[in-house]
Structure 1
């Protein structure tokens, strides 16, 4: 990390961990990953290579030549290729992940919450809110519970300096009244959740039931984007389309519920996009509405929130692998360019404690290792990218050492573990491309246990459809009424107050309102305007970060924009 802004690699500067390095010789591509000290190594055959650093952090950029060139000859000479990285935005960037490896009716289960500050500044007074599924009962947690409101539980995690991670667990019991195979969705959200770049995807989906209609409201809090959508009733697509949303705009989709009233509904946005994919939780408008299908895993594109949707199950294979989305039909059809979330579960069913566990996972050549994003894990681990196999595939090694995993005869709940990661497809795969994946799990020095093989088939038109009711879908786009109005805020960013003015405003000032929202769409303030179209906004208790405003006149949206609250 370039600490003195000279774009040189100096001895006392701290290395950047978890950065990917791509080595490309024009025919094959190989990857390496930096360790906690920012070091990496790669063994290459002879030839000319282009080395590209892939940081995966929106607030960092490489300030030395990136990519760089290297020639490997027959002298077997060690070469040192360094990259200097600079901070381009000073801001916290919080991430949270929540996962459970297993849910069983009437039994206790554990959720694991991992969080990190991947930003460039300290996040003060951070806390995590977890909203449990209605059929899950809270028992205890590994850190103190601060407060509870209904199914919402709050946990303080304190000040988080940059490059700081942590985690905790929550023990729950699954209701005996749940149906076998029922999906339970639990959401985690970390605060402060301000994003300092509007280029980062920030889409929020709200949902509700209105008598005989289900309503979804999608709001964009980032730069303008066009979002194709799918509306599902159970596992059938009942409407498709797209809408363009500028910053601060919303789209409302209404759909009549089924006559039986037992169906569940889901809105999926940007299916196939590795950056903007978003999917709501499953919405049922009747007491006996139960979701049993996990074709599209609920997801929010912003990293400050995460949704885990896991079906409860009866008997099970304790060492397995699952890829989400599950896909349609027995061929598991998924969209081209979409990301796959993999979960590997393991359990010590032996007769003694496992001291260490190694998992080897061969990555399909149809997956882009440069998009690898690690998720939640039940135990601390290290990850290595191993040299390519003879067929050109690279292997991930997850090493839990030591883990001291008890056997299931001594402590069944504690004998389980898991690890998750996501990875995108290679761009623009042809329809019919098959993506298989499996893993080998080694307990101590025992022979490996091979998981099942996951299957996904790429297809852009294979989902089942029944769009006979398409005409009854109402798409209400909240458009800006008069884009000719220009709004200025002086100063912006501001620390105490700012003056917001509609230039050229010729209205009467009747019912002229300014509404302020945070990045998650929560209302922060509402002000009334005057005949000149001016507002004076006091900061008050608003934390540092990015906010959005909307100006309405008699219910009509005049303009929207962004404000930044500084220190």
Structure 2
């Protein structure tokens, strides 16, 4: 978990994470001040302007092969003292798919976007996270990541957000970012599985004036000392003016119904046996709410009674896929 004061005055408050109920909490690098159910809460005091804090957590996934392919979610929220100028980015949601085995050296884009094409709106920032792990049999003294940014992204908007260890970076040519972890002394995964891992996270904006359906892909190369590079997976996002909407996201034999629509504020979602998470966004793609659905529930409520009249979007997650519905509050 990473939180940062992007403002100009010190802030104090609480930071909470609600993790998927299927997970079993194990450890936290900073002990939570409160642990209630599946929600962890930390208090923070006098977070200085520009200060960045990291919390490393570990969870166990139940040893159940039936969970492979299922999705798990985590929802984070930070509250602050008066003076926060960036209230819109005080929440975040993470979705990951449970697999039977995984490549610890990977790359993820946030937002992941909708469908396997990763549809997102024009002018939306992408945050990339590159994870690495020393799976060799000896200590790695240096890790280098070479990331060739897609030509449709604006290299001048590059912003380093966080890293697990001290890192330096250089930008060469028109779009090549090189991250260098010198003297990282990364132990191998057999000696210390937790300490053998690391990451770097950065954000970048798209080039202005992109055409609809402009595709942005990205792959990184990770070098451990003098070994050949390990290539990550390739992320994909597609920029559009309007997000695709669906009327039958769960499949031809399963229907999700949101009613009434329009509404004065209270919406109902019925027949959501396959739904795992519901998120609500305003027309500027800013998150309004997020709620985890308990398996077996038939219906849920979306309460917008305290919000202004207008158009909102509901993102409904089914396992690793999501669909968007447009709702209107009168």
Q: TM-score range by the shorter chain?
A: 0.5 to 0.7
Q: What displacement does 1:332 show?
A: 4.7
The whole-number CA distance in structure 2 between the counterparts of 1:131 and 1:326 is: 20
Q: Is residue 143 of structure 1 aligned with residue 30 of structure 2?
A: yes
Q: 1:415 to 1:196 in 2, by over 3 A?
A: closer
Alignment of 1:213-362 (within 5 A): 302-327=88-113, 331-362=117-148
* Pair 1:367-2:255 in alignment: no
Distance in 1, Cα, partners of 2:130 & 2:96 = 14
- Provide the rounded CA distance (Å) in 2 between the counterparts of 1:405 and 1:191: 34
* Gaps in structure 1 of 5+ consecutive residues: 1-112, 203-301, 479-519, 522-554, 558-567
Gaps of 5+ in 2: 249-254, 266-287, 290-305, 309-330
Matched residues, number: 262
Alignment of 1:12-91 (within 5 A): none
Instruction: Please say if 1:382 is aligned against 2:269.
Output: no
* Alignment RMSD: 3.3
Aligned partner of 2:62 in structure 1 is 175
Show the counterpart of 1:119.
7
Q: Considering Cα pairs closer than 8 Å and 6+ residues apart, tell me whether 1 or 2 has the greater RCO.
A: 2
Structure 1 residue 451 corresponds to structure 2 residue 232: yes
TM superposition shift of 1:347: 1.7
Q: Which has the larger radius of gyration?
A: 1
- Aligned counterpart, 1:402: 183
Pair 1:131-2:18 in alignment: yes
SS of the aligned residue for 1:445 comes to: coil
How far apart are residue 346 of structure 1 and its match?
Answer: 1.5
Change (3 A) 1:184 1:351: same
Note the alpha carbon deviations across 1:395-416, whole angstroms, 9 max, x for none: 2222223322211232334323
Contact between 1:357 and 1:441, CA under 8 Å: does it hold in 2?
yes
* Structure 1 position 185, deviation (Å): 1.5
Write the mapping of 1:439-478 to structure 2, written as runs, cut at 5 A: 439-460=220-241, 463=244, 465-466=246-247, 472-477=259-264
The alpha-carbon deviation at position 359 of structure 1 amounts to 0.8
2:296 aligned partner: none
Q: Would you say the 8 A contact 1:193–1:304 is kept in 2?
A: no
**8 Å Cα contact 1:406/1:414 also seen in 2:** yes
CA distance in 2, matches of 1:321, 1:160: 29
Distance 1:194 1:340 in 2: 28
SS in structure 2 opposite 1:474? coil
SS of match in other structure, 1:475: coil
Q: Provide the C-alpha distance between the structure 2 equivalents of 1:196 and 1:329, rounded to a whole number of angstroms.
A: 34
CA gap 1:354/1:122 in 2 versus in 1, 3 angstroms: same
Alpha-carbon distance, 1:327 to partner: 4.8
Q: Distance in 2 between matches of 1:121 and 1:149?
A: 31
Q: TM-score, length-normalised on structure 2?
A: 0.67
